[in-house]
Structure 1
């Protein structure tokens, strides 16, 4: 029987550092990534776990200035609506947060989940069809860690209208929009999430219940 690799203490310590230093980046340098870097990182998503080995993630790389402008316009509209939902000190704090890197990030892409995929033959999703979307998010996380290991930052822009994004990017209507991502070299490295630094929210221990 083939034995798996042995991951030693030094590796585990570095892996913990990778987890701790993975950040949702909002401020990017205009420096382009090396040629082929984005495509290689997107390819690493195939390593991610997926229900029934369905690999339902679909990546749409956005290079067109017109489409990027449309995405930014959608964000600005949704961001204004979000700001209006807060009041008092929370509204002031929200207004100070920089919640997108849509202007500076040299690379941008959207992730969709394809519920109609025949790959995997439907295994594991009869009673929980949302596992298709969960699988796409696992691909995002795998890619995120791989990027951080190379000093490349990634930011998830979630303040967008899914229907608008499907239309802007001309995605098939049966694909579910998961998120829009900015990729590039961060202007600064921070171990503490920006939302904690700004006092928006603080990380808490996991909720564990024993039955």
Structure 2
């Protein structure tokens, strides 16, 4: 009975979050090892590994499509943070909608690069807009709840800051390539911490 009780939607959501991390690491590692760019976060943007990376591109593009799908599943689990407070719920539902949009844009980015060999700039912009709103909404909800882990909130705030820095430097056309790597790394770390929190909810 104990094992069955743990196979809940929130458990599946937390599992999807953990799988995102594993998938990102695996797909990027294969893309770097089997491609022709090597690993150079100061010279190449993340999306270059899907567009200019020879045989390694397929692993990057497949990886982000899988990541986008898993992200949608992960975000659905945020329903566990619903409460009797309408404000809490409005904030969290807004975050869920934006999170799902972010997942869809990742799928479309990989599809656009692989099948149409087009620059996925529009999908990347939509992804960052959607994901920053999703993290802001989730972090705001966590700040209103005393039972949430501080490290998840802190990394969420760091992710928001780095995405805003990336946006500002891009607008000013002075974006250092490493900024994107740092922003995406912070997002992945936040996903891991949020998955941990979701897993604990699944056990309660």
Decide which structure has the larger Cα Rg and report it.
1
User: Of Structure 1 and Structure 2, which has the larger fraction of its residues in helix?
Assistant: 2
User: Could you state the TM-score of these two structures normalised by the residue count of structure 1?
Assistant: 0.25
User: Of Structure 1 and Structure 2, which has the larger fraction of its residues in strand?
Assistant: 1
Q: Report 1 or 2 for greater relative contact order, CA contacts < 8 Å, sequence distance ≥ 6.
A: 1
